């Protein structure tokens, strides 16, 4: 049954009697308190037109911040409620996001989903949880929360007309969800609309932390407890002792650091390790465990006191937790030097052992383990990087200078090789030009023998290779040695040079004024056969 009050007041629903299984069953009497609802008439008449459904009425967002005043760095839990009418089949396009400046927010975690009735309307409410921390002091507005979703709504006809009543609007009370589409989705076409979801912002006042924080304060804000333990309890000097510190509570665990040692004299401390186990979705509550290795440098009877400080926002003051005394036993130390008496006893041991009935003296067993050194060595070693040493950079100059010298040598060799290549190319060109002239018939004997001897000198210079012979310095013996001529070729070469000198210096020749074809062929054959 659905009951709708038509006016405000206190109503009594009488007991109802029903028959079941041959018996009469009677319900209890119910009392219904009806508050006055402004803005709605109690005398609605059936059949009147209602307002069309608006997409913004189908969803809502609510931002819940339990605290109105916080401190800088304090973790404040935040809850976001997103409500959707289940009859519109919502689809979240963009997840909720807390907007604003001056604070940091952790990742949203979906906490749960449940059905609620708000102002007589059913909603499917999804709850998200997160936490925020203010970065500076001042007054801020947290939010609003913004999201985007798609909802299914009926497509309106082009011409207005009266609509039929929906089973959801039992008394025709202008319910925006009473459209017949929601009771019969196939009565008309539907469409998805994108709606913006926006909550109201929440004001938050952020105070700065008070001054004069303890030395062991690392920024932890909240409420914490500390427990410590040390194992093993009996060690030698220099042996490691693992101290386990457990800090539990509620607060900003990202700023919770390992407890500090109030008196480090006689102890060597190693960097601690930590692990965190959270007890809620956003990591505000949990337990953080630290393991610190301490090594005693001298005999000790108790562990040093560990201190952890945090700021309690409820008490508005700093709180310092200190560990309880833990008794331990530290024995040993540096190995004692052997005394003179012990040395004498050891030296007399063979003599006394020979006597019957004399006790055998105990010998001192050499110590196997060397304990940790507690004194600085006489020569201090430097741990500065090697690139800061002047000697290192002076050593780098040696390969650098060698590289520069090698580059200069390569450049010089390239230039020398380039000059030699140009010289050889010029000699080849000159030899080619001279051979071309020797094949002409209009050349005088003087020019012919001069050019023939010049060709031989040029070819000898080219054939000399690495000796780099100047063509002007080539004579008969040099050419014959270069081309490795036999005696006959050597004689023919000598006669050619003599004829060239005779035509060059005397200006006359005892033979004819022209060169016979036979002599020309002999000269060309001699020159062409000159090869290394």
pLDDT at 44: 40
pLDDT at 240: 93
CA distance 212 to 320: 13
Check for a shared fold between 55-205 and 215-331: yes
Nearest Cα residue to 369 out of 335, 343, 322, 340: 335
- H or E stretch including 489? helix 487-501
Class of domain 215-331: mainly beta
pLDDT at 39: 41
Bridge partners, residue 114, by sequence: 125
CA distance 526 to 455: 11
pLDDT at 507: 57
Class of domain 55-205: mainly beta
Q: Write b or e for each residue in 472-494: b if 16 or more Cβ atoms lie within 10 A of its Cβ, otherwise e.
A: eebebeebbebbebeeeebeebe
**Total Cβ atoms within 10 A of residue 405:** 10
- H or E stretch including 499? helix 487-501
* Cβ 398 vs Cβ 425: under 8 Å: no
pLDDT at 515: 77
What is the mean pLDDT for each group of 10 consecutive residues in the chain (532 residues)? 78 87 85 68 41 64 93 94 87 89 89 86 91 92 91 66 49 50 51 88 94 93 96 92 96 94 92 93 93 92 95 95 93 53 42 45 54 66 77 87 90 80 85 85 82 87 79 85 85 86 67 74 85 70
- What backbone phi and psi angles, to 5 degrees, belong to 336? -70, 145
Sequence spans of domains, the chain:
55-205, 215-331, 415-528
pLDDT at 334: 45
pLDDT at 210: 94
Domain 415-528, second-level architecture:
Up-down Bundle (1.20)
């Amino acid at each position: 049954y659905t009951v709708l009050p038509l006016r405000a007041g206190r109503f009594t629903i009488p007991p109802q009697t029903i028959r079941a299984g041959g018996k009469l069953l009677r319900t209890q009497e119910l009392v219904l308190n009806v508050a006055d609802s402004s803005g709605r008439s109690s005398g609605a008449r059936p059949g009147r037109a209602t307002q069309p459904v608006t997409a913004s009425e189908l969803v809502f967002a609510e931002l819940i911040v339990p605290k109105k005043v916080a401190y800088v760095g304090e973790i404040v839990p935040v809850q976001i409620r997103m409500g959707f009418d289940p009859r519109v089949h919502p689809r979240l396009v963009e997840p909720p996001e807390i907007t604003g400046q001056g604070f940091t927010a952790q990742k949203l975690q979906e906490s749960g989903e449940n059905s609620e009735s708000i102002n007589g309307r059913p909603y499917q409410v999804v709850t998200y949880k997160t936490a925020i921390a203010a970065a500076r002091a001042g007054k801020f507005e947290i939010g609003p929360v913004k999201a985007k979703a798609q909802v299914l709504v009926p497509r309106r006809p082009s011409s207005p007309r009266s609509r039929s009543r929906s089973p959801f609007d039992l008394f025709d009370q202008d319910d925006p969800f009473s459209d017949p589409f929601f009771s019969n989705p196939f009565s008309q076409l539907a469409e998805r609309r994108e709606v913006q979801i926006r909550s109201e912002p929440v004001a938050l006042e952020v105070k700065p932390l008070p001054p004069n924080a303890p030395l062991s304060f690392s920024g932890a804000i909240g409420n914490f407890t500390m427990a410590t333990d040390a194992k093993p309890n009996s060690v030698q000097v220099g042996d490691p002792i693992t101290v386990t510190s457990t800090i539990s509570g509620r607060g900003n665990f990202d700023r919770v650091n390992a407890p500090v040692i109030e008196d480090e004299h006689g102890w060597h401390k190693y960097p601690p390790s930590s692990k965190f186990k959270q007890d809620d979705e956003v990591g505000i509550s949990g337990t953080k465990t630290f393991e610190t290795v301490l090594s005693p440098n001298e005999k000790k009877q108790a562990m040093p006191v560990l201190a952890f400080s945090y700021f309690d926002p409820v008490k508005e003051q700093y709180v310092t937790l200190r560990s309880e005394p833990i008794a331990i036993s530290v024995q040993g130390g540096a190995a004692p030097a052997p005394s003179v008496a012990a040395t004498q006893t050891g030296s007399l041991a063979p003599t006394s052992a020979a006597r019957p009935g004399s006790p055998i003296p105990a010998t001192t067993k050499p110590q196997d383990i060397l304990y940790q050194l507690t004194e600085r060595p006489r020569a201090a070693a430097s741990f500065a990087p090697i690139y800061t040493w002047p000697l290192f950079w002076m050593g780098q100059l040696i390969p650098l200078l060698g590289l520069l010298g090698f580059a200069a040598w390569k450049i010089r060799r390239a230039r020398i090789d380039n000059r030699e290549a140009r010289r050889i190319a010029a000699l080849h060109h000159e030899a080619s030009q001279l051979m071309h002239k020797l094949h002409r018939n209009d050349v005088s004997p003087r020019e012919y023998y001069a050019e023939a001897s010049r060709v031989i000198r040029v070819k000898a210079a080219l054939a000399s290779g690495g000796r780099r012979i100047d063509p002007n310095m080539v004579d008969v013996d040099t050419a014959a040695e270069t081309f490795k001529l036999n005696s006959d070729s050597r004689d023919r070469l000598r006669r050619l040079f003599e004829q060239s000198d005779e035509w060059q210096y005397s200006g006359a020749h005892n033979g004819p004024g022209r060169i016979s074809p036979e002599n020309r062929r002999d000269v060309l054959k001699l020159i062409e056969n000159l090869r290394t």
